[in-house]
Structure 1
Amino acid sequence: MTRWRAVVAGFVLAACSEALVFAWTGRVTLVGGLAGSALAGYLAGGEPADGAWYGLLTAMAWGIVLIPGLVVLSVLTDAPLPFPMEFLLPYLETAGEATVIILLSASLPNVAAGAIGSHARRQDDQSNRSERSSRTSNSDVEEA
């Protein structure tokens, strides 16, 4: 069963952080999507595969909004391509190469960010368990 709250939370973080970056710098980056994917992975649970999946879902949901927005921005304001696309595209010769680079750079980093988020969740869960077990053992010693 899909944990849509994790996807929505990641989407909201991506939208808010990208809006702040755009308001501050006037540029669009892909960093907000990475942060959103990491949050979605964290909220999804401690399995890296789950985190990767929710990172990808968040990236695709955010991309559905971001890509048309970028097209509108580029038509109306002549805005540059998002970082790092603006630096990679001049080295590509065909539309196929550009498509592959755009799709991979929009998905693989988000999958990794989601997996890292779920790994962080696993570490937090393990430290909380060890903290609880040390509290119980301390309270057992105090009762004796």
Structure 2
Amino acid sequence: MTRWRAVAGGFALAACSEALVFAWTGRVTLLGGLAGSALAGYLAGGGSAEGAWHGLLTAMAWGIVLIPGLVALSVVTDAPLPFPIEYLVPYLDSAGEATAAILLTASLPNVAAGAIGSYTRSQDERARRDGERPQRRRADGDVDEA
């Protein structure tokens, strides 16, 4: 089941971080989307597949906003392609290769980031659960773990 609040949180982080990067450097990257996908995976929890799904949804939602923004920037200014796509273009020979490269660089890393986010949450929950393990006292006052 999709947790839309997790996707919205990831989208908000992606938008804010990309806005900061653009204001600071004048360039657009795909790194804000990665951070947003990782946050969405963390918020969604529920295993790696769940995190990967929410990471992909966040990437697609962010892409719906980012791509028209990039087109507008390229029309108004001479904005370069986003990192890392600008470094891949010289190695591509056809429009099909370019389309596949753009789609893969805009989706697969976000899926992995979402899965890593949910894995991180499961590790946090496990550490929290282990830290709250009940303790019992022995007769002589020493503490043993249950």
- Counterpart residue number, 2:104: 104
**Counterparts in 2 of 1:77-116, with a 5 A limit?**
77-116=77-116
Q: Structure 1 stretches of 5 or more lacking a match?
A: none
- Counterpart residue number, 2:73: 73
Q: Determine which structure has more spread, i.e. the larger CA radius of gyration.
A: 2
Q: Which amino acid aligns with 1:121?
A: R
Q: Structure 2 stretches of 5 or more lacking a match?
A: 142-146
- Which string of whole-angstrom CA distances, capped at 9 and with x for unpartnered residues, describes residues 7-48 of structure 1? 000000000000000000000000000000000000001400
TM-score when normalising by structure 2 = 0.93
- Counterpart residue number, 1:44: 44
TM-score when normalising by structure 1 = 0.94
Q: Which amino acid aligns with 1:73?
A: L
Matched, 1:124 2:124: yes
Matched, 1:2 2:9: no
- Counterpart residue number, 1:22: 22
Structure number with the higher helix fraction is: 1
Q: Which amino acid aligns with 1:124?
A: D
**Structure 1 pair 8/142, CA: closer, same or farther in 2 (3 Å)?**
farther
Aligned length: 140
- Counterpart residue number, 1:55: 55
Matched, 1:141 2:137: yes
**Structure 1 pair 142/4, CA: closer, same or farther in 2 (3 Å)?**
farther
Q: Which stretches of structure 1, 4 residues or longer, exceed 4 Å deviation after superposition?
A: none
- Counterpart residue number, 1:12: 12
CA distance in 2, matches of 1:109, 1:76: 29
Structure number with the higher strand fraction is: 2
CA distance in 2, matches of 1:123, 1:71: 40
Deviation at 1:2, TM superposition (A): 1.5
